[in-house]
A and B are shown apart, each in its own frame.
Chain A
């Protein structure tokens, strides 16, 4: 196993996961916006709401297609590139993935077909039911994948078995109701709702700025503003919830996010800005708001939060204990009835993962030098600067969204939003921002877990498949090629249909279809 191999495997996973996550948030939120639009249609009987459902549904479909395409990659990749991971934790990790298929993917994927093709074959109420089930399905799939991911961050309800040489499930209940997973789920789906709201808000604003299909755009704007305002509030409140959860399971992630090198007296201050210096293990300068972090993270004024130095010191002790676990395990693999090895193993089992961290530096961990142990202990906290800055970017964007959606919601109540070009332009130019927030949020969660693939249990570097570097370069190049091409096609269609607007439905009622209306080049080209 070479460093290049490990880096390539990680790069491929990160690239494909982040790419997949370009399409997921919009699906999660837009599905509910479609439900709101169609419910309004069913209640009021006004066809403009049906047209809204169909038009935003078209954009939903263009996005969904790539979500499906890139989602299959993720399922393949645990097996193809993370074979040892799949063996080591498949007993726990595989179950939520399989249940995701059974409970969520089938629902979502079966009903999306009827959503698009069932308009003339289903009653109004039945079609609405189909749309609701599609939205429920897509959100349930987020639940199960985040239960799986939450377990990677905080591996509860499982135990290592030396006979089978893997982690085994002890309580599915604990895995399912893992507080980390639940907090991640609500944070992630509400972030998806914000993404979709700003998407609909921004495109509707563009129609209003152009003065076309005004009725259609006003109604879409109102729904997006109301839905988005509620979601932006919850994304911040529930982001705080996942901040609380992180302190319990992954103090190293929190310490890195906060660039907190020393353990500070409770309640710790929140560093608004700082310049982390990895070599000095200190910040060159910092601007701090007193007490805030301690209150958010521990919800008390007396509990302390450990700093990076303290965490590394503590982990050094765990690595030393872990060496005994690794050695005892090697003996047990040769002879399962070795009573002495069994006793040693039981005593040090909790630190097995920490002992495995030394494999990066030495094959026989009992030969590790104090320097190697110290280095492995340093590795247990991820690089501070990237964590610190990505987290702050995400939070800043979150507050920007809240500001936009508050103003938009207020203006849609007072009813004068269409007369505020600055608001419409603000909404339009905000369209790409939720994607940036989602990607850096993903980065904070996953990079922040390093050097582990399963926190405290399995180091990332041991999780990979034994593949050749050539294979990995080849597959990475293939993914980059396919994904670049697919993204270009998707964006082309998305822009084309967003520009066409509801005229793309062919109802004859909208801007480009009315007699005398100006025609953009190619607007009717898709009539065969």
Chain B
């Protein structure tokens, strides 16, 4: 059906789509989790906030799980190398995520205020920590990660956890966290009213501006960052072997793709303009449009990282030839074909019934609703 080269590119796009799906869907409930302790002042207010995502967070989290599964299936070397190399960062994400299922489901099952406040902070951790770490991880991908393969393709990570926390990576963490908070705030405004709405609106405008500023600042830094370039001839349809190439490190090389295709500047522009439009729309109380704008901004920001890195996925700073690219970290032609069709068949179905679920639960969540459904609501 599709040749190997085409499928490799399709899978780069599909991983991007899954990441974006994760950011738009799970991102908004993580943003709501981040805002929870600050926007909700009383127990009932906090329950209003929690119940805006109560019926949906679990389905949304599957974007993350499926994204992980798809990377496993389509880019097994990336899955293996990134998850084992970023061991403690991954565990931090995992352990932060532990607080969500139990936080949502258990929090309101007991009326003790300490119990509830504890889970509120648990939900905050589950919403705040993962986006920060994903941002930091992207910041490190853009600088290269210290790993190499031996002859049998066993990956060896030679860095430490603490060196992941360098200034550029932390800046990327700020971009990511602000982006998710902004997006979550737009959603929360859409589903609430009164005092919660007003407080959230302020958070939306501030986090949106922080996102745009930090993203622009990161763009300035990237020009001075070492980028990676493949220097040996590339055969995109070859069987994947990450050790069969040579790679050079050149300052500013992450801007090469933009220089070669100036049209690509539209991607970072979407991040900035989407962000500014979102802030404006939040100010004008156009909640749904603001949500769409922050979704577009995320497409621009995530897309910018993807386009800058292309064809790299995970460059190696300690052994550049071991770097993983879209050409040489993929699964077999048959598996890519199979997974492509599985995605084409199921993704529209998922979008359809997720849309239905949101439609069924649509409308503002109010304090009256919480009081009337004390036993059933989260």
Closest to B359 in A: A121
| Contact A525 B69, beta carbon cutoff 8 Å | no
| Contact B346 A79, beta carbon cutoff 8 Å | no
Tell me, yes or no, whether A76 is within 8 Å of chain B by CB.
Answer: yes
The digit string for B60-96, where 1 denotes a CB below 8 A from any CB of A, is: 0110011011101110110111111001101100110
Q: How far is the CB of B356 from chain A (nearest CB, A)?
A: 9
Give the B interface residue count (CB, 8 A): 75
SS of B interface (majority): helix
Tell me, yes or no, whether B9 is within 8 Å of chain A by CB.
Answer: no
Closest to A168 in B: B332
Tell me, yes or no, whether B287 is within 8 Å of chain A by CB.
Answer: no
SS of A interface (majority): helix
Q: Cα distance A122–B359 when bound, in Å?
A: 11
CB-CB under 8 A from A94, the residues of chain B are 69, 72-74, 76, 79, 331, 335
The digit string for A161-176, where 1 denotes a CB below 8 A from any CB of B, is: 1011110111010000
| Contact A65 B101, beta carbon cutoff 8 Å | yes
CB-CB under 8 A from A330, the residues of chain B are 151
Q: How far is the CB of B64 from chain A (nearest CB, A)?
A: 8
A81 and B102 in contact (CB under 8 A), knowing A92-B335, A506-B374?
A: no
Q: Cα distance A68–B376 when bound, in Å?
A: 20
Tell me, yes or no, whether A211 is within 8 Å of chain B by CB.
Answer: no
Q: Cα distance A98–B69 when bound, in Å?
A: 4
CB-CB under 8 A from B95, the residues of chain A are 478, 482
Tell me, yes or no, whether A432 is within 8 Å of chain B by CB.
Answer: no
Tell me, yes or no, whether A465 is within 8 Å of chain B by CB.
Answer: yes
Tell me, yes or no, whether B106 is within 8 Å of chain A by CB.
Answer: yes
Tell me, yes or no, whether B269 is within 8 Å of chain A by CB.
Answer: no
| Contact A528 B55, beta carbon cutoff 8 Å | no
| Contact A528 B68, beta carbon cutoff 8 Å | no
Size band of the interface chain A makes with B: 35 or more
CB-CB under 8 A from A84, the residues of chain B are 80, 154-155
CB-CB under 8 A from A166, the residues of chain B are 76, 153
Spell out B's residues near A (CB within 8 Å). 43-44, 51, 54-59, 61-62, 65-66, 68-70, 72-74, 76-77, 79-84, 87-88, 90-91, 94-95, 97-98, 100-102, 104-106, 109-112, 151-157, 239-241, 331-332, 334-335, 338-339, 342-343, 346-347, 350, 353-354, 357, 360-361, 374-377
| Further pairs besides A94-B331, A471-B87: 18, Cβ < 8 Å | A65-B106, A72-B94, A76-B94, A79-B79, A86-B83, A90-B79, A91-B335, A94-B69, A94-B79, A99-B346, A101-B69, A103-B342, A117-B55, A118-B360, A161-B332, A164-B240, A478-B95, A528-B44
In the complex, 22 of the A-B residue pairs with CB atoms within 8 angstroms, ordered by the A residue number, are: A72-B65, A73-B94, A80-B91, A87-B80, A90-B80, A94-B73, A94-B335, A95-B339, A95-B342, A97-B69, A97-B72, A102-B343, A117-B376, A117-B377, A166-B76, A168-B332, A169-B332, A330-B151, A471-B87, A504-B375, A527-B374, A528-B374
| The 8 residue pairs across chains A and B that have the minimum distance between CB atoms | A90-B76, A79-B83, A101-B66, A94-B73, A113-B55, A110-B59, A94-B72, A98-B69
